[in-house]
Amino acid sequence: MRPRAVPYLLALPAWLWLGVFFVLPLCGMLSVSLMTGDLLSGFTQTFHLGTYAEAVQRYRVQLLRSLLYGGSATLVCLVIGYPVAYWIAFHAGRSRGGYLLLLLLPFFVSFVLRTVAWQFVLADDGVVLGTLKDAGLLPEGARVLNSAPAVVFGLAYAFLPFMVLPIYAVLDRMDRRLVEAARDLYAGRAAAFLRVVLPYSLPGVSAGVLMTFVPASSDYVNAAVLGGPGTTMIGNVIQTQFLVNNAYPTAAALTFTLMAVLLLGILGYALAAGTERMAGGRG
C-alpha cells in the first residue's frame, strides 16, 4: 500500500472526465482544423495551415469585435457589479443570503430564454420603447435592438453574477477591523476604501474580470438575439461555419484562434494584475 498514490487515484475520475470530454475533442478539433476538402467529397488530413491565415484574415473584424464587446460587457459588469457586491457584503447584514439569491434568481431560467425576454422587452414597439414613443419622449424611428449597445448590455446582464460573486466572496471574508484600522490611522471614508478595501478585493476583481470576459467574448446567443448583421461576433461565425456552411476546418481554426487569443489575454492580464496588486501595497 502506497498512501502517496491515494490522492492521485482519487483524482482519477476527474482526469478521465477531462481526458474524454475535453482533451480528446480538442485533439479532434485540432486535427479537423488542419484538414482540407468539403462536405460532398469528404475531408482529408493535409496539415494545411493556410486555413488559419485565411479564416483570421476573413473574420478579423468579428474577432476584434468579440474582444471589444466582451471587454465592454466586462467593464459594465465591473461598474455595476462591484457596488452590488460591496453593498451586499458590507451593508446587507443578515439578509445577505437573500440578496445573493435575488441576484441569481433570473439564472434559474434558461440562458436563451432570458435573452429572448430582453428581445421582447427592448423590441421597437415593445413595453419600453413603445411606451416612450407613445409618450412622445422618443422619436418614432428610435431602436435599441440590432445595435452594439444592445449586445453589450445583454452580455453584461448575462454574466453579471460571475463578476459579483468572486468580489463578494473576497469582501465577505474581509476582517471589518481592517476598515476600522484605516479610519483609526486618519483615513477618511474614501481613503479607507481606496487604500484598504479596494486593494484587498483585487483578487476577487481579477477573478470576476476573467470569469466575465472569457464567456462574454465567445458568446453568440446575445449577438444572435439582440444584435443585427452589424454586430456579428466570432461565436456567431463559428456557429454558422459549423452548422450552416459545414466548413469544419474553418470553424475549427477559428475556435483555436479564439482560444489562443483568450489564453494570451488571460496570461497578460494575470501578469498585469499580479504586479498591480503589489503596486497597490505602496500605501
- Binding site residues, another protein, CB under 8 A: 175, 177-178, 180-188, 191, 195-196, 199-200, 202, 277, 280-283
Residues 6+ apart with CB under 8 A from 212: 73, 74, 77, 78, 159, 160, 162, 163
Picking from 105, 86, 247, the residue whose alpha carbon sits closest to that of residue 167 is: 86
Min dist CB 36 to another protein, Å, is 53
Which residue in this structure is represented by grid cell 467593464?
75
Q: Rounded to whole angstroms, what are the CA distances from 143 to 65, 120, 157, 158? A: 21, 13, 19, 21
Min dist CB 93 to another protein, Å, is 10
> Which one, 39 or 191, has the nearer CB to another protein?
191
Strand bridging mode 42-45 / 35-38 = antiparallel
> Which one, 161 or 199, has the nearer CB to another protein?
199
**Phi, psi of 135, deg, nearest 5:** -80, 0
Min dist CB 265 to another protein, Å, is 25
> Which one, 133 or 277, has the nearer CB to another protein?
277
Min dist CB 195 to another protein, Å, is 7
Contact 110, 214 (CB under 8 A): no
Picking from 193, 171, 182, 203, the residue whose alpha carbon sits closest to that of residue 277 is: 203
> Which one, 154 or 166, has the nearer CB to another protein?
166
Q: Rounded to whole angstroms, what are the CA distances from 221 to 151, 233, 235? A: 9, 10, 8
Q: Report the alpha-carbon distance of residue 142 to residue 133 in Å, rounded.
A: 8
> Which one, 48 or 96, has the nearer CB to another protein?
96
Min dist CB 98 to another protein, Å, is 15
> Which one, 7 or 283, has the nearer CB to another protein?
283
Min dist CB 277 to another protein, Å, is 7
> Which one, 29 or 202, has the nearer CB to another protein?
202
CB atoms near residue 99 (< 10 Å) = 18
> Which one, 50 or 188, has the nearer CB to another protein?
188
Q: Which own/partner pairs from 91-99 qualify as long-range (CB within 8 Å, at least 24 positions apart)?
A: 96/172
Min dist CB 166 to another protein, Å, is 17
Contact 234, 254 (CB under 8 A): yes
Contact 49, 34 (CB under 8 A): yes
Min dist CB 169 to another protein, Å, is 16
